[in-house]
Amino acid sequence: MSKALHLLPLAELARLLQQKLLTSVALTEHFLQRIDRFNPTLNAFIQVDRDRAYRDARRADDILAKGTHGSPLTGIPYALKDIFDVESEPTTCHSHLMLQHRAARSSTVASRLAASGAVYLGKLATHEFALGGPSDELPFPPARNPWNTAHFTGASSSGAGAAVAAGLVPIALGSDTSGSIRGPACLCGVVGFKPTYGVVSRAGVFPLSWTLDHCGPLTRFSDDTRRVLQAIAGYDPADPTTVTRKLDLSPRAVTWPSHRIAWPRHLLTDNPHTDPALIAAMDRAVGFLTEAGARVEEVRFRDFSLFNACGRIIMAAESFAVHQHNLRERGAEYGRFTFQRILPGATISAAELLDALRLRTALTGWLNAELFPRYSLLLFPGTLRAAPHFNEFSQDWPPASHVVPTQTIPFNVTGNPALSLPLGLTEAGLPLGLQLVGRLFDDSLVLDAGEAMEKWLAMPALSDDVMLRPHRVVPVTG
């Protein structure tokens, strides 16, 4: 094999397993050895279940030995953000309040991955209750960016982004309420996908905001994401928000001349905190699309600030509703950032929440009834800069607006599928990324387009030497 196992796409790993050129036990051992080597620095995993991993791997090898190929994920390791339940395993949500909690049953996502024959490695770091922020006062240290461990990972699926980028696991499942899959994917240089709302079940996943939460994968390639989505998508009676509509997720070649793509470049150029390197990188991506025959047209993305305000009000109100009892009874056990982020939800009136919900309907209608009928895809920034240094976070939330200027929450408000793709590196060696957004339930086209664009964007793989390079690792406040 010319490439190390952790750099290969899932299709190639599946081929090696199915042709018996590789065993799942050997593949699992490869990733466990990488976890042993790099996780003490990266803090991506907070719990590794070696016994379960080897048990799953041996079971997968038995399936493959019988001459049946199983599923495309049979024998391939995965890990879960520590808000996903796995039966009898701890689900701590990275919080002192949950350290004694063990799940009575598995989340639907975990059950479907297990049924596919995938190999469970363990739980990944998050922010407390998938909100909070990077902090040393929590039961586990914050995950660190493998491109430079003195830098942030992006958002609450922090361990997932770091683990996939570092080659500790090929599949990580995260959640995305305002960008917590796409932020870490963007800042860690991997692929992250927020499916259409209702496509993936959230049963058995600790909620942050019932109407904004999405679950989805972080992987190295868009086709990897498709393979995971094929395993986990679909109606679930345990989650009444899932849709009965069955998506056709078969890959198709993109005929670019048949696509008209909206490009709100002003979101970059109007913001003084945008890194010029990101503007140049996205302009190059537009150039590739144009050369391939796509019609890329600059548009005004109306009322971005209203999308942001609308989403923040809904998230604040719903997260307070989730936590109100514990805030009253055990408020001192929350981390500082988490407490500061949840408590303002108590001040939101019913009238203000209803105003936000009405605004949500209007904004969703504009996007899906006015913009998307004219365009098949929307090219969008992910964040406006590369990963910030940990010392840019103060002791109180929120940090300065330029520290984590994500551009992701509009599509939690509307529910549209959104893919974060790596664009390349800054001169400082930190990843940049973009988003591809599609029409509701057009998840497959978004992944098709992502796969096609990866061939042009050619994100370099993270080398072990970079992760081993000494960085000034500072304590994280909070």
Active site residues: 81, 156, 180
The SS3 assignment for 50 reads helix
Per DSSP, the residues of 257-309 read: GG-EEEE-THHHHT-TT--HHHHHHHHHHHHHHHHTT-EEEE---TTHHHHHH
Q: What are phi and psi of 336, to 5 degrees?
A: -60, -50
The full length of the chain comes to 478
The whole-angstrom separation of Cα 478 and Cα 104 is 32
- The answer to whether the beta carbons of residues 199 and 441 sit under 8 Å apart is yes
The whole-angstrom separation of Cα 203 and Cα 50 is 25
Q: What are phi and psi of 69, to 5 degrees?
A: -80, -10
Q: Which two tokens stand for residue 466?
A: 């970079």
Closest CA to 193 of 163, 153, 166, 233: 233
Per DSSP, the residues of 330-352 read: HGGGS-HHHHHHHGGGGG--HHH
Residues whose CB falls within 8 Å of the CB of residue 6, separated by 6 or more in sequence, listed in order: 30, 31, 34, 167, 168, 170
Q: Burial code of 57-91, b = ≥16 C-beta within 10 A, e = fewer?
A: bebbbebbeeeeebbbbbbbbbbbbbbbbbeebbb
How many distinct helices (H) and strands (E) make up the chain? Answer: 15, 11
Q: Residue 79 carries which DSSP code?
A: E
Judging by DSSP bridges, how do beta strands 418-425 and 77-81 pair with one another?
unpaired
- Widest Cα–Cα separation across the chain: 62
Q: What are phi and psi of 146, to 5 degrees?
A: -70, -20
The whole-angstrom separation of Cα 99 and Cα 279 is 43
- The answer to whether the beta carbons of residues 73 and 227 sit under 8 Å apart is yes
Q: List alpha helices for 366-437, DSSP H.
A: 410-414
Please name the residue that has the structure tokens 């929307």: 378
Strand order in the sheet with 191-194: 45-48, 119-124, 77-81, 172-176, 214-219, 191-194, 418-425, 431-438, 377-381, 260-263, 295-298
